[in-house]
Structures are given as structure tokens and as C-alpha cells.
């Protein structure tokens, strides 16, 4: 780690993470077309694959520089994910149920953290930090599969809509 102390590295990594978040928000999130549901769903699927890969990569890489790169890529994925997920979730919600669905989504997130946290912690206690982080990354993968299914459904819906317009 050179002449820098661990607290110096934490500070540097944190400052660069903040800068990356600002740049990512400006360049990517604000310029992404959120009106195209199929494209938005594909982007969310790719972002979640990136998140899972970065967590697993961070866990398994044995090099400080590569671990920091994995961390920064995860920061980018997280920065992109939240606003796009919010837009995607709100796109087709009836205003009468929007608050309920958003609340339920947040509760499911919290439930996943509460249910998964002790399991990941137990794995960490039994097999070490790398195993726990790898498990955490693997636990994120089902989200990508759900987005893939949603992408296929939205693609089918677009195809049906185009076919209906051709028939008319």
C-alpha cells in the first residue's frame, strides 16, 4: 500500500467514489431514455449483472488495485441503478397504488437484507470474508434473471402492439 496509511486509502477511495457518482449521474442517468420500457429493463438487467460481478470480483481478487476498481465499478452500478429502477417501477403504476407498491418494494428490500444478512454473516464467521462476499454477490443474481424475464415480456408486448397496428 506504499507510504499511505489505511485511513488515507479509505479517504482517497471515498472521495473518488463520490466524484464517480457525480460524473455517472450526469453522464449516464440523465441521458438515458426512460420512456422505452424494454431498453430500460435491459439496462437494469445489465447493471445488476455488473453489481453481482463486482461484488464477486471484489471478494475473489487478490490484488488491491483490482479490488478498488471492482469497488468503483460497483459504485457506478449503484449510482445508475437507483434512479433507473425508480423510473422503471413508476412507469406503469396506477397513481392509486403507487405509494403501496413503492412501500412494498422498500419493505422487500429491507426483508432481503434482514434475512440475508445473518446468513452471509454466518458464512463469513465459518468460511471467511471472501466466502461471505461471494455469497452476497451470488444472492444478487436472481434480480438479473427477473429483469431478463421482464425484458422478454416487454419485448413480447411491443411485438404484439406493432402487430396490432399492422392489422389495423
Mean pLDDT of 93-111: 88
pLDDT at 140 over 60: yes
- Which pLDDT tens digit goes with each residue over 15-26? 999 999 889 888
Mean pLDDT of 137-155: 87
Task: Return the DSSP state at 4.
Answer: S
Q: Report the chain's terminal Cα–Cα distance, integer Å.
A: 67
Specify the pLDDT at position 38: 85
Rounded Cα gap, residues 137 and 70, in angstroms: 12
More confident residue, 92 or 54: 54
Domains along the sequence of the chain with CATH: 6-167 (1.20.1250.20)
Specify the pLDDT at position 162: 43
pLDDT at 46 over 50: yes
pLDDT at 161 over 90: no
Amino acid at each position: 500500500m506504499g507510504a499511505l496509511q489505511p485511513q488515507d486509502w479509505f479517504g482517497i477511495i471515498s472521495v473518488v467514489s463520490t466524484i464517480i457518482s457525480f460524473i455517472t449521474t450526469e453522464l449516464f442517468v440523465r441521458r438515458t431514455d426512460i420512456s422505452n420500457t424494454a431498453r430500460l429493463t435491459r439496462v437494469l438487467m445489465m447493471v445488476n449483472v455488473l453489481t453481482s460481478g463486482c461484488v464477486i470480483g471484489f471478494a475473489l481478487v487478490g490484488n488491491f488495485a483490482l479490488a478498488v476498481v471492482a469497488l468503483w465499478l460497483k459504485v457506478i452500478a449503484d449510482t445508475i441503478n437507483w434512479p433507473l429502477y425508480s423510473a422503471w417501477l413508476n412507469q406503469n403504476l396506477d397513481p392509486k397504488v403507487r405509494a403501496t407498491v413503492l412501500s412494498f418494494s422498500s419493505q422487500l428490500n429491507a426483508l432481503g437484507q434482514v434475512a440475508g444478512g445473518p446468513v452471509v454473516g454466518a458464512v463469513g464467521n465459518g468460511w471467511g470474508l471472501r466466502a461471505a462476499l461471494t455469497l452476497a454477490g451470488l444472492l444478487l443474481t436472481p434480480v438479473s434473471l427477473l429483469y431478463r424475464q421482464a425484458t422478454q415480456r416487454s419485448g413480447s408486448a411491443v411485438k404484439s402492439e406493432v402487430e396490432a397496428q399492422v392489422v389495423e
